[in-house]
Structures are given as C-alpha cells and as structure tokens.
C-alpha cells in the first residue's frame, strides 16, 4: 500500500508532445524518430532550467512541473523556438493546468495532471490548450489568447473553461500533413494542390503517401 501524502495547492503542470510522432516514425524510420526525441528532450531540458523541472519523459512527450503559470508559458515558447531553430523537427503541442497535485517520490499525480494531459491531446500543432491561470499569464505577457468556453474533457464529469494559446502563428507554421515535420518551403519543396489548397511536404515520400490516400491524413496531434 502507498503511504498517505498531502496535496499541495497551486502547482502548474505542463504536458508537451511532438505532433504526429507515430506517422513520423512510419515515414522516416525508427532511427530518425529517436534522433527527433533526443533533440526534443534536449530542448525541453534547456528551456525548463530555472523555471521548473522535468518530471519524466513519455515517449514523444514530456511531463513538467513549472515554477508558476507564467514560467509554464515561457517554457512552452522556448521549446517551440528551439525546435523551429533545428532542422527536421515536428511542431510541439501542449496542455497546462494549475491546481493541487500529489507527490509520489519524484513523480506527480492527480486530477490536474490528468487534465493537463487531456488538454495536450486537444491541441493542434503549434498551439497550447490551457486553463485560466496559464491563460491570464499568457495574456499578461502579450500572447494571443482565445477563450474556447466550457469544454467537455474525456474522463471529467464537469466541463472545463479552456483557452487557446498560439505557439506558432499560422502563416509561420507550415507542417507536413503526413509526418508533422515543420517545413520552410523553398524552390525544392515537394508541393501539391489539393481541393484548391497548396500543400508542402518534407519529402517526395510523404507527398506520394498523402496523394495516394488524402482522407487518411486529417489534422491530428498524434
């Protein structure tokens, strides 16, 4: 049996994930995917220093505890910029929630941890889904924040007030629809026009995969 432990109020939990990681692994192979994760964890480790701690890695995601909601926003922004500065990296998504958590050694658990994870699942590439504390911190720092209203969250009885925070502005956020890699389109970038929309791809392989089954590749974060 676990020994009883006390809950601490007002802890800020952050989940950050790489978008479309399963598809990236399938398209580019295990070695490329492992290198992407290594660069991601390095970026997170550097960004969280002095702002909180890395609780644990979760495959293509990380669980963090931030010093406060403002620090959580700073970490997500820093990680996003570090990934943009690297080549062949996917976009990041994330969820942030603040409230009481329970300590289990170096780990944390509780409803707030679960909520941050669920919010991360809801976020599209280049965006965060956050609760009010983080939304206020983002707005105070000059970020674009959009209230999404009361949202049903899987596993939670009551709806939650959720806010959208952009990590990547749409005009700067071009991603491969197949593997999720962030792209800076240039003369050699594979491009196709589908239903009147110009789409760019990181490689001819992903372009062919998309054109062979476009309905498979709907917007997703997994």
Give the chain's domains with CATH numbers. Answer: 7-169 (3.30.70.1230)
Is residue 93 within 8 A of residue 124, CB to CB? The reply is yes
Q: What is the pLDDT of residue 168?
A: 63
pLDDT along the chain (222 residues), means of 10: 46 93 85 90 96 95 96 94 80 93 94 96 91 90 86 94 80 70 73 85 84 76 39
Q: What is the pLDDT of residue 156?
A: 94
Give the residues across from 145 on adjacent strands. 165
Q: What is the pLDDT of residue 33?
A: 87
**CA-CA distance, 127 to 146, in Å (whole number)?**
11
Q: What is the pLDDT of residue 5?
A: 42
Strands (E), 24-144: 52-58, 61-66, 92-104, 107-109, 127-130
Torsion sign (Cα): 15, 75, 177, 131: positive
Specify the DSSP element, H or E, that contains 81. helix 69-85
Q: What is the pLDDT of residue 184?
A: 64
């Amino acid at each position: 049996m676990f020994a009883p432990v006390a809950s601490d109020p007002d802890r800020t939990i952050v989940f950050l994930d790489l978008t479309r990681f399963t598809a990236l692994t399938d398209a580019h192979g295990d070695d490329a995917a492992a290198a992407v994760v290594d660069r991601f964890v390095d970026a997170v480790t550097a960004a969280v220093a002095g702002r909180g701690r890395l609780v644990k890695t979760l495959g293509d995601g990380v669980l963090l505890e931030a010093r406060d909601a403002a620090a959580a926003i700073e970490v997500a922004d820093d990680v996003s910029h570090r990934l943009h500065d690297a080549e062949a990296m996917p976009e990041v998504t994330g969820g942030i929630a603040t409230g009481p958590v329970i300590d289990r050694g170096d780990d944390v658990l509780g409803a707030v941890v679960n909520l941050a994870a669920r919010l991360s699942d809801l976020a599209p590439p280049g965006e965060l889904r956050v609760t009010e504390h983080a939304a206020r911190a983002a707005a105070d720092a000059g970020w674009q924040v959009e209230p999404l209203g009361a949202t049903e969250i899987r596993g939670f009885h009551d709806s939650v007030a959720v806010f959208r925070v952009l990590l990547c502005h749409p005009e700067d956020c071009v991603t491969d629809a197949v593997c999720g890699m962030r792209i800076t389109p240039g003369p050699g970038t594979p491009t196709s026009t589908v239903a009147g929309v110009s789409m760019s791809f990181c490689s001819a392989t992903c372009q062919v995969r998309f054109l062979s089954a476009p309905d498979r590749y709907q917007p997703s974060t997994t």
